[in-house]
Amino acid sequence: MLYSIKEESMKRHTILVVDDSRTNLQVVRDVLENDYGLQLAVSGEMALKFVSRRKPDLILLDLMMPVMDGIETYTRIRQDPENAGIPVIFLTASQNAEVEVECLKIGASDFITKPIVPEVLESRIRKTLELEDLQKNLQEKIEEKTLEIETLALQTIGAIVHTIEARDVVTQGHSVRVAGYSRAVARAMGYSEQKAERVYQIALLHDVGKIGIPDAILKKTGELTAEEYNKIKEHTTIGAGILSSITTISYLPEGARYHHERYDGKGYPQGLKGKEIPEIGRIIAVADVYDALVSTRQYKPPMEDMDAEEIMRRGSGTQFDPDILRVFLRLMKSGEIDRIRESYREDPGDEVKNEVKQMLVG
């Protein structure tokens, strides 16, 4: 069996060469071994094993091979999403232009005809790898810039949350507690950690629109008039408008816009019903009401957990999504909700700072 792996620290790229002809493999090795690390395979099956162990920077793939030809080998390599970015150059003795077009159509980077001309082989490989390196470097720079922009956006989030919390001592800590409950629910529903953190960020800003509500209404201890209540309801659309301006994090407005929609369609601002309401809105709705019930407000003392739980159970299928409420109640029973509530109780201002700091580090 003819194959070898040649690695030297000075060689930046590894090339997998797949050809059932040992003579062709020897020709390629003689041309390339001084400049590249080589993996030489005599069949498609062997090539698949090489790729599964260590991904090469480029694949030279013979089109006509017994058992598993080049097209089938290429297709099976591409079945793994992690291999999608590996450039492939087909090798063939065919002079048929249609074959070349077909190879390029399925995603090949280039096409080299046999017999192999060393100068052509070297030139095509060099240009393909240079283009690949350029694309990778460009992608890295884009990712760096994106991270910088998102970091600035998250710092803005921190400043906004501080502004919300500072307006009303009575409700201080509400936003960060609701965010904590929402993240816990998302995790329990099977969200990935990254998506659960997104839920946290969205929920943290669900009440940002209250910046646009006058203090005389927001802090009123007596019963609100119909006109005042309608003004309060505007905080959902105001918040969504504010967050829509943070274009680098496009998902932020959803919590502000939808957290007062009801499962029975009697909520606001759009009167959405059931699954029409985005899931993030249905999650935050449960967390928001619970925190309002068990917290002190200008118009009421805090409610005991048992009483709050009973009220929330009565809202299943009307105010709340039954499935999400069940998850929340299960977290209450396990003590997770109480743990989050206690951890955010003493100094909500510092807690917000710490959570934002963690987002930036993450």
Is-contact 254 280, C-beta < 8 A?
yes
Instruction: Please state the length of the chain.
Output: 362
Domain map of the chain by residue range? 14-116, 141-361
The pLDDT assigned to 61 comes to 92
Measured between alpha carbons, how far is 29 from 40 in angstroms, rounded to an integer?
8
How many helices (H) and strands (E) the chain has is answered by 16, 5
What pLDDT is attached to residue 328?
97
Asked if pLDDT for residue 146 goes beyond 70, the answer is yes
- Between the ranges 105-109, 121-125, 165-169, 272-276, where is the mean pLDDT highest? 272-276
The pLDDT, as a whole number, for residue 327 is: 97
Task: Answer whether residue 351 shows pLDDT above 60.
Answer: no
| E strand intervals along the chain | 14-18, 37-41, 58-62, 88-92, 110-113
pTM of the model: 0.59
Q: Which CATH superfamily is domain 14-116 in?
A: Response regulator (3.40.50.2300)
- Fold designation for 141-361: Hypothetical protein af1432 (1.10.3210)
Tell me the pLDDT of the chain averaged across its residues: 84
At residue 166, the pLDDT reads 67
pLDDT tens string 162-212: 776 666 655 678 888 999 999 999 999 999 998 999 999 899 999 988 888
